[in-house]
């Protein structure tokens, strides 16, 4: 990495440091001559969507096969999955788990009494194949990867750095003739929070691993930073976006005083937990008699939604106490046990109040089998992408595996192609220009606009959609985006205004895709 003033030149720029970005960085770093710059907008490289993934990661069970996993992926995805992506995940995924997570980075997966890896089962899986670290699998993986990232001298970590926009010669070059060239990415403008400055980072290749968009909805299991940054930046750069309407709502988020607070892992239902209404009655038999509590996530989420409407209840309940001994609950789900107790609920004794919440974007930036986007030299991996492996609905614990596989694949493809790419002449890319006489943005306006986005998406483009609701969403969001863009152009740049701008665009992309797709499938459900 070469830094001069507000400019950095690097071989590879990676935006995001969850499992996808970290896997890519570590694979690229095997070449000591490759300089990798990894940026994340949060204070710590631990603070990722990966860190909050409770359930586990798909491996290969004792009575399992790639064909069986592929069948489960396709069934959960409503048969709209990309066959090539499914084949890659089902064949390469478990091998990578073994090579990287188990052997190289020694993630401490839970073992049974015989010291063998313990497999659990989640909804829509036909067999037990999920590896886990109690109920904090993502945290354990992120901790191991973060330590490895810090140990590599050719990985340059920039925390508190917020990507603003991808750099494309067609949009940003001072040589207007570059508009005739194919779209390509040569880096990004990045806001340095501590330095209160904007860096111009030029790279021979860029990997977008910026996570999801759950924070555009009122209720979500995602951390605060999941504001659709990656999708929005890619869209502005001209990248292809597909399947954006397929936003998965997790059936069980902890409910307290009108809000979803945190994820209650699907693994509880995998261990036998029952869904009950306020009267203490099981209800999944009415909605999904074959699978009951182990139905695909979209089915369970809508079933809870319908039961809440039918019974006029603000939430449903998850009962693990009646099917698992207290000591087992505390041992198997220590994080959930502790988190529930903070709100006065003891899962060993009490039913857990739950509601559906926005959880995972199954669509996003289109990538091919090697993580290549529709822009030259721009790759993407993880939740920000659409590989097609999830189809219309993600199979539980497939997200971490997808990030691992495509983070690795993107890195390997870059290694093969790096020699043919030269750094763009820096003189073609101007420094960032702030508006003259720019003032700090009014936090009250930002807070209000973000709340408007969240409420609009939740009520008009959320779990249940219709033409009338989506018409209203698009109309309201278009007007709001116009105001936000004007607001963005005259105010001093900071994290909040960057996230607001991205959230507005990401919301419109999702709502428009939902409007255009008139057929219900997977987690995209229309009443009309």
**Residue 269 burial by CB count (10 A; 0-12/13-18/19+): exposed, middle or buried?**
buried
Beta bridge partners of 275: 318
Q: Using CA atoms, how far apart are residues 24 and 22, in angstroms rounded to an integer?
A: 5
447: number of Cβ within 10 Å: 12
Q: How far apart are CA 118 and CA 63, in angstroms?
A: 14
Q: Are strands 352-361 and 378-380 parallel, antiparallel or unpaired?
A: unpaired
DSSP summary character for residue 280: S
Q: Collect all residues with Cβ–Cβ distance below 8 Å to 3 and sequence separation of at least 6.
A: 9
Residue 31: is it exposed, middle or buried by C-beta count within 10 angstroms (0-12/13-18/19+)? Answer: middle
Is there a catalytic annotation at residue 468? no
**CA–CA dist 468, 487 (Å, integer):** 29
CA-CA distance, 432 to 184, in Å (whole number)?
19
Handedness of CA 514, 516, 521, 527 (dihedral sign): positive
Name the pairing type of β-strands 7-15 and 2-4: antiparallel
Q: Are 77 and 296 in contact, with CB atoms under 8 Å apart?
A: no
Q: How far apart are CA 322 and CA 491, in angstroms?
A: 56
Which among 231, 202, 65, 223 has a CA at the least distance from the CA of 142? 223
Q: Which residue has the tokens 């739950």?
A: 354
**Sheet with strand 247-256: strands edge to edge:** 259-263, 247-256, 352-361, 316-319, 274-276
Which strands sit side by side in the sheet containing 385-386, from one edge to the other? 241-242, 364-366, 385-386
Tokens of 12: 């590879």
Pairing mode, strands 352-361 and 197-208: unpaired
State how far the Cα of 515 lies from the Cα of 350, in Å rounded to an integer: 41
* Residue from 27, 121, 297, 394 carrying the catalytic annotation: 297
Contact between 258 and 343 (Cβ < 8 Å): no
Cβ(211)–Cβ(425) under 8 Å? no
Q: How far apart are CA 187 and CA 8, in angstroms?
A: 10
DSSP secondary structure letter of residue 184: B
Number of Cβ within 10 Å of residue 431's Cβ equals 13
H-run or E-run covering 20: helix 19-28
- Hey, which residues are catalytic here? 297
């Amino acid at each position: 990495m070469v830094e001069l003033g507000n400019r950095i030149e690097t071989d590879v720029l990676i935006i995001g440091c969850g499992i996808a970005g970290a896997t890519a960085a570590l694979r690229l770093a095997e070449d000591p001559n490759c300089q990798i710059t990894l940026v994340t907008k949060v204070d710590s490289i631990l603070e990722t969507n990966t860190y909050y993934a409770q359930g586990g990661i798909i491996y290969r069970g004792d009575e399992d096969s790639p064909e069986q996993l592929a069948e489960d992926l396709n069934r959960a995805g409503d048969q709209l999955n990309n066959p090539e992506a499914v084949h890659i995940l089902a064949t390469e995924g478990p091998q990578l788990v073994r090579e990287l997570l188990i052997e190289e980075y020694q993630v401490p997966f839970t073992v049974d009494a015989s010291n063998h890896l313990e497999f659990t089962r989640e909804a829509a899986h036909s067999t037990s194949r999920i590896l886990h670290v109690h109920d904090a699998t993502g945290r354990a993986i992120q901790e191991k990867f973060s330590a490895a990232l810090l140990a590599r001298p050719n990985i340059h970590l920039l925390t508190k750095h917020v990507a603003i926009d991808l750099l494309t010669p067609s949009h940003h070059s001072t040589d207007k003739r570059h508009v005739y060239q194919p779209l390509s990415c040569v880096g990004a403008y990045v806001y340095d929070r501590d330095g209160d400055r904007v860096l111009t980072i030029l790279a021979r290749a860029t990997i977008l691993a910026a996570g999801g968009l759950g924070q555009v909805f009122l209720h979500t299991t995602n951390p605060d930073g999941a504001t659709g940054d990656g999708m929005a930046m890619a869209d502005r750069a001209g990248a292809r976006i597909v399947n954006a309407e397929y936003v998965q709502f997790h059936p069980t988020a902890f409910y307290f005083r009108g809000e979803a607070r945190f994820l209650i892992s699907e693994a509880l239902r995998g261990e036998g937990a029952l869904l009950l209404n306020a009267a203490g009655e099981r209800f999944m038999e009415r909605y999904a008699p074959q699978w009951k509590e182990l139905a695909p996530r979209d089915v369970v989420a809508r079933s809870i939604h319908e039961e809440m409407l039918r019974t006029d209840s603000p939430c449903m309940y998850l009962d693990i106490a009646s099917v698992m001994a207290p000591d087992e609950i505390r041992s198997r789900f220590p994080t959930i046990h502790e988190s529930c107790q903070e709100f006065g609920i003891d899962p060993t004794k009490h039913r857990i109040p739950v509601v559906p919440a926005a959880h995972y974007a199954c669509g996003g930036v289109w990538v091919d089998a090697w993580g290549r986007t529709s822009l030259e030299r721009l790759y993407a991996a993880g939740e920000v992408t659409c590989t097609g492996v999830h189809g219309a609905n993600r199979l539980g614990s497939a997200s971490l595996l997808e990030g691992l596989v495509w983070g690795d694949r993107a890195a390997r493809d870059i290694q093969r192609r790096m020699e043919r790419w030269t750094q763009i002449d820096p003189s073609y890319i101007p420094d960032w220009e702030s508006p003259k006489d720019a003032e700090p943005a009014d936090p009250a306006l930002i807070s209000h606009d973000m709340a408007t986005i969240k409420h609009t998406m939740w009520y008009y483009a959320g779990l249940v959609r219709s033409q009338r609701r989506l018409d209203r969403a698009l109309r309201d969001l278009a007007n709001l985006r116009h105001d936000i863009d004007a607001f963005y152009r005259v105010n001093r740049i900071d994290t909040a205004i960057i996230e607001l701008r991205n959230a507005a665009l990401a919301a419109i992309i999702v709502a428009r895709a939902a409007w255009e797709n008139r057929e219900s499938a997977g987690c995209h459900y229309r009443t009309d």
